[in-house]
Each structure stands twice: as C-alpha cells, then as structure tokens.
Amino acid sequence: MHWLVLGFKDMARSPGLSLLHGIVMAAFGGLIALLAHDQFWLLVGYLSAFMVVAPVLATSLYAMSRAMERNEKVDFELLVQTWTHWQLRLREQPASYWCLIRFGLLLGLAALGWIVTSSALITLLAPTAIHSPIDFIRHVVLAKDSHLFELWLGLGGMLAIPVFASSVVSMPLLLDRRVTVFQAVLTSWKAVMTHPIQMTFWAFLIIGFSLLGIFSLLLGLILIIPMLGHGSWHAYRDLVDVTHLEERITEPGER
C-alpha cells in the first residue's frame, strides 16, 4: 500500500503528464472495445493481453518517477525521449539499451499467445457462439455441465503467474541500469520468491485496480494507470539493491 501512496504522490506532482498516460490507455482500451464489441471472446483476450504488456506501456511513467527522485525536470520532452530516442540513434545505442526493446517484444509475444489461446478455447469449446458479455456469463461462467470457465481461468493463471514474476520489476530495472534481459528477469523472480506474500498481494492489487478501471467503462484507468505505473517504480526501488549495477547514464545533451 505504501507503493501506491508514493505512486499517487508522484502523480500529484505531475498530474497533467501522468493523467495523459491514463487517457491514452483508456482511449486504446475503448478502441479495442469498439473493434471487438461483437466478438466477446476476442474482447476478453485483448483486454487480458493489455494487462500483460502494461509494464512496457508504463515505461515513461517509470522515467518520470526516476526524474522526480533525482530532482530533474519532468516535462513532455522527457516522455518523447523515453519512447523515441532509441529510434533516432539506433547504431549509437549501447547493446544493453536493446534489452528494453527485446523484453517488450517478449511480453508482446506472450500477449499474442494469450489472445490466440483464449479465443481458440472459447470458440472451440463453448456450447454456442459467444458474442456478448451476457453470452459469456450465461454459456461459459454459469454453465452447469461445463468446466470451460475453470479451464479458461486456469490457462490464464498459468500465463499470468510467470509473466508477473518475470516483469514486476524488470522494466524499471532495464530503464535504470545497464543489465541484460536475463539479469532483469532473474532479479524480478528473486524479488517475488524472496517476498512471496507481499508480491502476491501486490499482484492482486494490480489485478483488482485494473478490473475496476475496465469495468468503470475504462474511465477509471485514467487515474489507475498512472498510480500503478508510478507505484511500480517505487516497488522496484524498494525491492532491488542496485548499488552494484552500472547506472544507465544519459549522454551529453540528453536527459
């Protein structure tokens, strides 16, 4: 809960840019709902995948919290550089910088795998076509002679647990220090295994707030996304000892 409080304080220090992240995420979720509104199994898969890749989408929130921690200027230019600098100077970037991109791609592949698995499972095993939330509740969740919902939840959990354990502090670490993807993932697993109760509670907080944001017609995401993003940075700072790791120092003329 302390991480959430610190995340909320960071959001309050730069409300405009922080809420901009939430607005973009909510708009993206609305686009997904618009495109998949008549195919509920696809909608559920996309929204689940959205939660899988959230650590990557929150990268600039981590950059903002790091800048605040260092008493550096936080403005729109910081966000632009966080997302685009690697594209502008590909050949000059150190090899460790590519870890950010590699890890993002890995999470993207995990999200794609869940979309395919979720949609295939519901399409093939549901007793009737699922086109709306009511159909899903009636024919999957409340079906008396079927265990499809339990199977669907089980498969989702099998994906969510290793993804969470691999990513809970990985993106902030990759942003902050010169480490490899393997080092970041190993550090993330170590944090989870060292503090299993706290990290399980943190996972449920993330899931709970995310669902709250989704079921509030996505409007709640405007506040929840920046709070969780900033909070995740403070989780990383609290869980990981980085004193022995080389800092990712920006080059002259950069932030």
Query: What are 100-110's pLDDT values in tens digits?
Result: 777 877 887 88
Residue, of 92 and 17, whose pLDDT is higher: 17
Q: Are 159 and 114 in contact (CB under 8 A)?
A: yes
Supply the range of the domain harboring residue 18. Answer: 2-238
Domain-embedded: residue 245: no
Identify the pLDDT of residue 252: 39
Domain-embedded: residue 186: yes
Domain-embedded: residue 114: yes
Identify the pLDDT of residue 210: 87
Domain-embedded: residue 249: no
pLDDT band at 92 (very low <50, low <70, confident <90, very high): very low
Angle between the N-to-C axes of helices 221-239 and 59-69, in degrees from 0 to 180, rounded to the nearest 10 = 60
Q: Which pair of tokens denotes residue 83?
A: 């997302």
Domain-embedded: residue 59: yes
pLDDT band at 123 (very low <50, low <70, confident <90, very high): confident
Identify the pLDDT of residue 88: 44
- Using CB atoms within 10 Å of the CB of residue 205, give its burial: 0 to 12 exposed, 13 to 18 middle, 19+ buried: middle
pTM over cut 0.75: yes
Domain-embedded: residue 183: yes
pLDDT band at 85 (very low <50, low <70, confident <90, very high): low
- How crowded is the C-beta side of 107, counted as CA atoms within 13 Å? 28
Identify the pLDDT of residue 205: 94
Identify the pLDDT of residue 90: 43
Identify the pLDDT of residue 227: 96
For 128-141, what is the mean pLDDT? Answer: 78
Q: Are 56 and 70 in contact (CB under 8 A)?
A: no
Domain-embedded: residue 111: yes
CA–chain centroid gap for 157, Å, is: 16
Give tens-digit pLDDT for 176-219.
Answer: 998 888 999 999 999 999 999 999 999 999 989 988 988 898 89
pLDDT band at 86 (very low <50, low <70, confident <90, very high): low
Domain-embedded: residue 254: no
Give tens-digit pLDDT for 10-19.
Answer: 999 999 999 9
Q: What's the structural domain count of the chain? A: 1
